Amino acid sequence: MDTAPMEKQTAPIKYQRVLLKISGESLMGQQEAGIELPVLQRVCEDVKNVYDLGVQVALVIGGGNIFRGLKGAAEGIERTSSDHMGMLATVINGLALQSMLERLGLEVRVMSAIPMQSVCEPYIRRRAMHHMKKGRIVICVGGTGNPYFTTDSAAALRASELNCDVLMKATRVDGIYSADPEKDPEAKFYPQLTYMQVLTDNLRIMDLAAVSLAKESNIPIMVFSLNEPGNMREAVLGKGRFTLIHDT
């Protein structure tokens, strides 16, 4: 097996292959919609810092900064059409990430669950794994390719298919709390949780289908903040502040 990218390792890393789930809203910055380029660059620099450790990296990106399927459905657009519109929004974000990561000197492939060969590659599991083994970053767009499934579910599915060691969920806060820490300063921080605790207590950090799939595949979910530069690298090293969801 080709493990060329592993030769870059400069520090003890806890996870050799990771899937990073980024929401579309995380690319907005202070804007109401769209992509704020300095934020895009900072996120991509964080990804590069992890890649430079020798980690194989895949990403799943949402599209909420452009269009949210559920919101469109609530406002009168037929649900399947609305979800397809949201999936296309993830393609736009994926192409933006690819462009910025390539500017940073990385080799990147965008792979879509919705075939659009003139824009990006179709998602094929074996091809995606080949790209990662060759040291390329894979950006998975188009969700699962099906309506009624969130990009959280797509992230859990791709993490399972690509045999990732961890699913990293980037959020605005540094982990899971008993309440919204932005509203309740007394909210309790959970450094670790089991899948069953998340499912039973309905902790809405990811949709329940995504957590159930991660549990079935025994892939830990790491919830951390993407707001501070370097957090992703620290989390991959098993350092810093984050919540880890796993079986024990």
Q: Is the dihedral of CA 65, 70, 73, 77 positive or negative?
A: positive
Three-class SS of residue 226?
Answer: coil
CATH number at residue 206: 3.40.1160.10
> Among the listed ranges 5-19, 89-103, 107-121, 148-162, which one has the minimum average pLDDT value?
5-19
Q: If you average pLDDT over residues 116-139, what whole number do you get? A: 97
Counting Cα atoms < 13 Å in the Cβ hemisphere of 229 gives 9
Q: Is 9 helix (H, G, I), strand (E, B) or coil?
A: coil
Element at 20 (helix H, strand E): strand 17-22
Q: Mean pLDDT over all residues of the chain?
A: 90
Where is average pLDDT lowest: 151-160, 180-189, 236-245?
180-189
pLDDT digits (tens, 9 = 90+) for 34-86: 999 999 999 999 999 999 999 999 999 999 999 876 666 677 889 999 999 99
Q: Is the pLDDT of residue 1 over 50?
A: no
**Cα(5)–Cα(117) distance, integer angstroms:** 27
Which pLDDT does position 4 carry in this prediction? 47
Q: Report the DSSP beta bridge partners of residue 168.
A: 20, 222
Residue 162's nearest CA partner among 133, 188, 185 is: 133
Lateral strand order in the sheet of 243-246: 121-122, 108-112, 137-141, 56-61, 17-22, 166-171, 221-225, 243-246, 192-194
Residues 108, 138: Cα–Cα separation, whole Å: 6
Distance CA 222, CA 91 (A): 24
Q: What single-letter DSSP state applies at residue 87?
A: H
Torsion of CA 96, 99, 104, 106, to 10 degrees: 110
CB 53 within 8 A of CB 233: yes
* Structural domain count of the chain: 1
Confidence (pLDDT) at 7:
47
| CB-count exposure of residue 145 (10 Å: 0-12, 13-18, 19+) | middle
Domain that holds residue 222: 4-246
Which range is least confidently modeled, 34-48, 102-116, 131-145, 223-237? 223-237
Residue 13, C-beta contacts closer than 8 angstroms, at least 6 positions apart: 53, 54, 55, 236, 237
Average pLDDT over residues 173-183: 87
